[in-house]
Amino acid sequence: MYTASWRDVVRRDLFGSSPDPRDRPYRSVIRLALIVFRLLGFRFDVRGAEHLPASGGAIICSNHVSFFDFTFLGLAALPRHRLVRFMAKAAVFRHRFAGPFMRAMLHIPVERTAGAAAFEAAVRALKDGQVVGVFPEATISRSFTVKELKAGAARMAIDAGVPIVPAAVWGGQRVATKGHPVVLRRGVAVTVVLGEPLVPEPGEKVQQLLRRTGAQMAALLDEAQRSYPDQPAGEEDRWWLPAHLGGTAPTPDEVHALDAVDAAGRRAKVAKPHPVTRLRALLRRRR
C-alpha cells in the first residue's frame, strides 16, 4: 500500500524531467491533492499504471463511485508522468471557486443538452497527444456496480484512433459519494486498477468497442472489490458494499427505479444508513 509523503509533495521530478510550463496550475493542484491525501492518511493500492501509454493520446474509462474518483485516477497516471484532462459537467466550470481551476487544468466541459462541442474538444485533445479521462456511466453508480455505458468514449477512441485504457476505482465511496454525507475519515484504503489498452480494431463498430470496454471495466472493478483490504466495521457499515458481495447498497434494478424517480423530479427521502429501504418495501408490495 502507498501512502503519500511530504517528500512526494515537493519532489522535483514528480512530473518528469521537462514538464510543460503551461501545466503549472495543474501540477500545483496535484501537489495540493497529495497534501490532502497525506493529512487523511489514505492508503493507495495502484495497479497497472504501466498500461497507460507514456506518450500519445489515450482515453481512461473508469467506473464512478465517489466524488474524488478523478483525483485517484490522476494519481494512477503520475508514474507515467501524464496529466489527465477529465470530461466534467459544465456547471462545475461555472462555479465561482472550482471553475477557474477546471479551466486552468484544461479539463473539458460537457453540456448535457449539447454534447457535440465537448466531443469535438475531446477528440482534438486526443489527437494532440493528451490523455482524456471519462466516466462513461455519466454519473456515480449507487449500486457500486458498472452501469450501462454511454457510447461517447468509444466513439472518441475510434474517431481519434487512440486506445481505451479501462480502469476501476474503489474505496472512495466511504469518504464522499452520492446519497451519503461526506465523512473525512483517516486511513481509508483506495484501490485503483488500470487494465491493458483496448485498441480499436479496423472496422470495429462503436457498440462492439463499448461492449469490450464495459466487460473490462466490470472485471477490473470485481478484482478491486474482492482484493480490497478493509471490511465493514459492522452491520450499519455495509452500505458501501454492493449487494452481490453482501452489502446493503441498492441493486442495479433498484438504482434504475431511483434514477427514474430523480429524472421525474421526485427525489425520495429515505432513512439511513440504507438509502433505498422505502424503495425496496415499495417493490415488494408491487410483486
| pLDDT, tens digit, 9 for 90 and up, residues 44-99 | 999 999 999 999 999 999 999 999 999 999 999 999 999 999 999 888 898 888 89
| pLDDT, tens digit, 9 for 90 and up, residues 255-267 | 888 777 776 764 5
What's the pLDDT at 275?
53
Higher pLDDT, 207 or 275: 207
- d(CA 148, CA 209) in angstroms, rounded, equals 14
For residue 112, pLDDT over 80 is answered with no
State the pLDDT confidence band at 273, using cuts at 50, 70 and 90.
low
Q: What is the pTM of this model?
A: 0.87
| pLDDT, tens digit, 9 for 90 and up, residues 187-228 | 999 999 999 999 999 999 999 999 999 999 999 999 999 999
Ordered structural domains, the chain, with CATH: 6-235 (3.40.1130.10), 250-287 (no CATH)
| pLDDT, tens digit, 9 for 90 and up, residues 154-181 | 999 999 999 999 999 999 999 999 999 9
For residue 281, pLDDT over 50 is answered with yes
| pLDDT, tens digit, 9 for 90 and up, residues 123-140 | 999 999 999 999 999 999
